[in-house]
Amino acid sequence: MVIIINKYIAEFLGTCWLVFGGCGSAVLAAAYPELGIGFAGVALAFGLTVLTGAYAFGHISGAHFNPAVSVGLWVGGRFEAKDLPAYIIAQLIGATFAAFVLYLIVQGQTGFTGTAGFASNGYGDLSPNHFSLGSAFLIEVVLTAFFLIVILGATDRRAPAGFAPIAIGLTLTLIHLISIPVTNTSVNPARSTGVALFAETAALSQLWLFWVAPILGAVIGALIYKFVGNEDK
């Protein structure tokens, strides 16, 4: 029983770390005058949270930190369906808690006037570079599919042991480098949900895309890897 609960706590903590580190870097440090870390810094921050979180919690819960990843691992035969609801709930709570803590922090800044976009995801007017719904949907599907392919490949028993978190963290960094201008990068419904709850934009009305597209992409990626990585062929 304790082991089961520990898995969910690990998913809560790992997702909290991902959202706090990744979205926190975007909200607090990305546009800091003259010294801001910019898109590249935010991309690196997201990758580092997954890399470090995977080493910290991978042996406890598998280090999903993402409902789309959990679904993809289930489709890929690496995860049991009975654990899906609890994992997704833990991830959502972790993401929301991290966003709430970040919300408390930003209020302490002199001259605080509101959260604005709060690192939320979006398309159209809410896209950093005003990309359309179609572009946003397509890039989230494609990038999440590749994310799952890398995750499944890096954690395959035939892959070099101990390096999976590095490959996965670097992949998430690359994903952000590609897609921050398009959607502000989701590939993670929990990450999108947590910050959308505190954003002062219409982020909640567009949240459906950042559930549907990443989960669809995860399913596609898992099916591709099941075919490509099949040892029986």
Closest CA to 214 of 129, 146, 123, 114: 146
Predicted TM-score (pTM) of this structure: 0.95
The per-residue pLDDT for 110 is 86
The per-residue pLDDT for 178 is 98
Domains of the chain: 2-228 (1.20.1080.10)
The per-residue pLDDT for 3 is 63
The per-residue pLDDT for 15 is 98
Contact indicator for 117, 25 with CB cutoff of 8 Å: no
Rounded distance between C-alpha atoms, residue 27 and residue 105, angstroms: 10
pLDDT in tens, 111-166: 888 889 999 999 999 999 999 999 999 999 999 999 999 999 999 999 998 999 99
pLDDT in tens, 5-31: 999 999 999 999 999 999 999 999 987
Rounded distance between C-alpha atoms, residue 170 and residue 85, angstroms: 28
pLDDT in tens, 34-87: 778 999 999 999 999 999 999 999 999 999 999 999 999 999 999 999 999 999
pLDDT in tens, 97-114: 999 999 999 999 888 888
Per-position DSSP letters for 137-201, written without gaps between them = HHHHHHHHHHHHHHHHHHTSTTSPTT-HHHHHHHHHHHHHHHHHHHHS--S-HHHHHHHHTT-SS
The per-residue pLDDT for 231 is 72
